[in-house]
Amino acid sequence: MSFAPRGLDSIPDVCSNEDLPEVELVSMLEEQLPDYKLRVDSLYLYENKDWIQSSPCHGRLPEITSPARDEESFRYMTLIELPSSSLDGSHKFAQVLGTGNAEQKTYSDADMVKRLLAEKDRDLELAARIGQALLKRNHLLMEQNEALEEQLGQTLDRVNQLQHELSKKDDLLRIVSIASEESETDSSCSTPLRFNESFTVPHDPLQLDVLQDKLRELEEENLALRSKACHLKTETITYEEKEQQLVNDCVKELREYPGCILQWQNGI
């Protein structure tokens, strides 16, 4: 509803008349009798004779108005004129509308919060499942790593033992070879040999034959032990490479899992 304000030059014309009618402010919302009857001169606190007829030579004054000012004027006049019963009813109606809008907004906000909480619960449940799967995978990898480390330790112990036995047999072969050479050069006299105190070189030809047979057996056994040591060393290197590859795979999987989790969360 819009109201066109009257011009400033029309006010003196109304107030200058002798038969000035009473101006009634009628309620715009309800058809009731007005509660107040006001005269224009009593509103502006002037007598009729004080109003001066404006001269037509000055022309029409420009209207100073704005939509916001008109709206505030209409509200002011409506609040002055409305009876208490109608004001209470309008306030109650406005309160009911405001309450309904607030409740509807509250319900919509609550539903949105519930949906967000449900999505958050699903994300947490998914993250918990992924974490459990990662923990199980990590536990299995740790068990495999421990088993490989134990097997590697046993292999290293075996290699050290074989190397120790091989060094002892090498010493024995060196002593026997020295004894055989000395017996061939001079069978009548013997020269002292620098070797272990508990070992004595016999000069009997039969004993030398026995020692030579034993020497051949020790050489064959030495070759077998050397080949076995090489094989164990190769297996040790292979196990170390497998262990390193397994560790690298574990590290790679652990680095890739956070990216997979983020992709799943973004997809959800």
3-state secondary structure 125-171: HHHHHHHHHHHHHHHHHHHHHHHHHHHHHHHHHHHHHHHHHHHHHHH
Q: Is the pLDDT score of 178 beyond 70?
A: yes
Give residues with Cβ within 8 angstroms of 193, minimum separation 6: 175, 178, 179, 182, 201
Domain-located, residue 136: yes
Is residue 15 domain-shared with residue 76, that is, in the same domain?
yes
Q: What percentage of residues in the chain have a pLDDT greater than 70?
A: 49
Is residue 136 domain-shared with residue 260, that is, in the same domain?
yes
Confidence (pTM): 0.28
Domain boundary residue, one of 56, 81, 106: 81
Domain-located, residue 127: no
Domain-located, residue 125: no
Q: Which two tokens stand for residue 145?
A: 């790593």
- Number of structural domains the chain divides into: 2
Domain boundary residue, one of 81, 96, 118: 81
Domain-located, residue 139: yes
pLDDT digits (tens, 9 = 90+) for 54-103: 444 444 444 555 666 666 666 665 554 444 544 455 455 445 445 555 55
pLDDT for residue 242: 84
Domain-located, residue 10: yes
Q: Look up the domain containing 21 and give its range.
A: 1-81
Domain-located, residue 259: yes
Partners of 38 in beta bridges: 23
Q: Which two tokens stand for residue 43?
A: 């509103």
Domain boundary residue, one of 38, 57, 81: 81
Domain-located, residue 240: yes
Is residue 247 domain-shared with residue 158, that is, in the same domain?
yes
Is residue 257 domain-shared with residue 142, that is, in the same domain?
yes
Q: Residue 179, Cβ neighbours under 10 Å: how many? A: 22
Domain-located, residue 2: yes
Model confidence band, residue 184 (pLDDT cutoffs 50, 70, 90): low
Is residue 75 domain-shared with residue 175, that is, in the same domain?
no
d(CA 107, CA 97): 15
